[in-house]
Structure 1
């Protein structure tokens, strides 16, 4: 019977790599999160061969001023979907994410 237990992997990026990723994000007008998400989706496409790539992301719903002072979990999981093919340029994926 499946346990449905999750796992977590922590890693550290070399300072030079992190600096380069931040520079890429700044030049493309996106966030570091978008660069890392696009990289992850690109890897998922490469290893799975699938073109419809979906990743779950946590979205904080504290956009309204009246919820800022409230205590509680205001997080929803949202599917972040992208179409990735062998012809997709990484820079295009960055802006599509």
Structure 2
């Protein structure tokens, strides 16, 4: 999450945008029945990170943490 927050800060500075969407890979093996299967089950989760208001490092890390955990919690929903 620290690397994701740093990458978001770099992208925000380079693009001049406060609202970013970054795709991160997810293993997509949330159910016990498919944990032992062999194959490529990766799914991309879009994370919308808002960097408005010049957040401090700790605020940016907290926003990124909340966003990443919420996305992983609801990864089965479209």
Q: Any runs of at least 4 consecutive aligned residues in structure 1 with deviations exceeding 4 A, and if so which?
A: none
- 2:42 aligned residue: 75
Residues in 1 aligned to 2:27 and 2:62: alpha-carbon distance in whole angstroms: 21
**Where do 5+ consecutive residues of structure 2 fail to align?**
65-78
TM-score by length of 2: 0.74
**Where do 5+ consecutive residues of structure 1 fail to align?**
1-33
Q: Whose Rg is larger?
A: 1
The number of residue pairs the alignment matches comes to 64
TM-score by length of 1: 0.60
- Higher relative contact order structure (alpha carbons within 8 Å, sequence separation ≥ 6): 2
